[in-house]
Amino acid sequence: MDPVRVRFVQGSDLRLRVIEQGDPDAPAVLLVHGYPDDSGVWDGVADELSSRFRVVRFDVRGHGGSDEPTDGYGLDLLAADIAAVARSTGEERVHLVGHDWGSVQSWRAASLHPELFATFTSISGPDLGHLADWVGRNRHAPWRVLRLLAPSWYIACFKVPKIPELLWSTPAVLRAFHASRRNAVNGLELYRANVGHAPQPRKVAVPVQQIALQHDPYVTAQHLAAAEPWAENLTRRPLFAGHWAPRTHPEHVARMIAEFAERRPSRRELVVVTGAGSGIGRATAEAFAAEGAEVVSVDVDGEAAARTAAATGGHAHQVDVTDAAAVGRLAEKIVDEHGVPDVVMANAGIAVAGPFLDTGEEDWRRVVDVNLWGVVHTLRAFAPHLVNRGEGGRLVVTSSLAGYFPTAALPAYSATKAAVLSLGQSLDIELKKTGVGVTVVCPGVVHTNITRVATFAGLDAREQERQRASMTRWYRLRSFGPEKVAREVVAAVRAGRLIVPVTAEAKLVRVLNRVAPSLVGKLGRIRVPG
């Protein structure tokens, strides 16, 4: 934590307290707080940024250590205050950041004084003129307007005289909002002076980044969309956090501010696929690459992974997914070299067929190690990175029709695939609020090389080969290739679907499990490959 430097800037009718930290010669970032805060709401963000930037923040008029205004709280005065602080840095252009009412003010400042700002990051505070324009354009759809206005119901209460001041006299309320009474009471004038008196919207030429807080009860996607006709260079990034993200998620907010201020080029979608050397894994890697993704192909067969990487223009890594430590090291390596993946597909799998009484312990351990532990190791290695990034993502696991279709022919395989299905459903519930979703892919009979390396319990080598050849012919006759599964995977990731039965038989059995489960049991007695 760098030591802070305090100074004062003279505005049109008052003095503003300014706090600085970080290298005075580094690029300047100007942070503007909202209601009912003061500049202290930025403490964590400022600490994160100060190693690379000169961090400047100030108390809005009437808040914190700044004076009480004599000319009021109109938006143009607030914008003039921001401009005065920006000029006081001596920088040609500063990177402007606003949260809540700080963002509302900053939109105005960026439109009136674009020459002062290199970039503008808006967090949970739309431009009032943009909103008024949006309402005017949608007046023929009153329900849309009502949905926009409903989250701001409290503003009507704030505009009532005296009563809000009484509310802010309650210590418990002040503690809940981390507010002082002076900030809370004076800040009411922001609403009273400006809501209902929106200025004409203006074009904003400064590059704008909107950090879209996904758990914000006050500012919705509609509020953010109002800026689209007015911001000439607009970027929007999700952050799975609530309204006070600068306080609760300072490292995420700081990272997004820094990346935008440094104008780092947006990287391509990053996709990691295990079991990518062949079959569904390879087809899925190719499908994501065809959409422009950067793909990392992982397989126990390093040469097969390299062939997929060559076909997709991506990267290859060899790893045995049954080795938890190795998978963990691989995840760290991928994150260090390429960043946090947007999509991770835990797809590696093997087949063990044959009756339960003929399936030995070694076969059980092998199929559980690959089909279940391999998925668990992959998810445990990558999921924390996606969650900690705070921007969502997708975890894809490959189950099977066999995961919800018990058969006498595949008890070991079915058990592992049922476990993967349940794991995916459970994990989706657990991670929902983090924005990381789960997709469980359930193919049926798909022609891949898994049939050529399947294990048939209780058979000698010659009979094993005969069964493999028979199963391969049967799957080939079904004529459903892995590229069709890959298309379903990509579509499901884009749509955010949880359970994805792919083939016709997979879809039919899923329906029958709901409407005629006894029939599913009877079908499971038929000894055919599945």
Rounded-to-10 torsion of CA 165, 171, 174, 176: -140
CA dist., res. 79 & res. 110, Å (int): 8
Active site residue 404: no
* φ and ψ at residue 123, rounded to 5 degrees: -125, 110
**Separation between Cα atoms, residue 114 and residue 112, nearest integer Å:** 6
Helices 75-88 and 101-112, packing angle to 10 deg: 70
Residues 6+ positions from 197 with CB-CB distance below 8 Å: none
Structure tokens at 15: 């003095």
The label of the residue with tokens 């909107």 reads 210
Helix 101-112 with 128-137: angle, nearest 10 deg = 90
* 257 SS3 class: helix
Q: Is the backbone of residue 459 left (phi > 0), alpha (psi -120 to 50) or beta?
A: beta
CA distance 482 to 453: 16
Kind and range of the H or E element at 428? helix 411-431
Q: How many CB atoms lie within 10 A of CB 465?
A: 13
Block residue for tokens 């206005």: 149
Backbone φ and ψ for 521, nearest 5 degrees, come out as: -60, -40
Task: Give phi and psi for 7, each to the nearest 5.
Answer: -145, 175
Enumerate residues 6+ apart whose C-beta is below 8 A from 422: none
Catalytic residue among 35, 191, 413, 475: 413
Report residue 27: phi and psi, to 5°: -55, 145
Beta carbons within 10 angstroms of residue 311's beta carbon: 14
Find tokens 């050397």 and name the residue: 277
Check: CB of residue 32 under 8 Å from CB of residue 99.
yes
Q: Where are the alpha helices (DSSP H) in 291-410?
A: 302-312, 324-338, 361-367, 374-389
- The one-letter amino acid at 52: R
Which backbone phi and psi does 77 adopt, to 5 degrees?
-65, -45
Instruction: Report, as residue numbers or ranges, the catalytic residues.
Output: 413
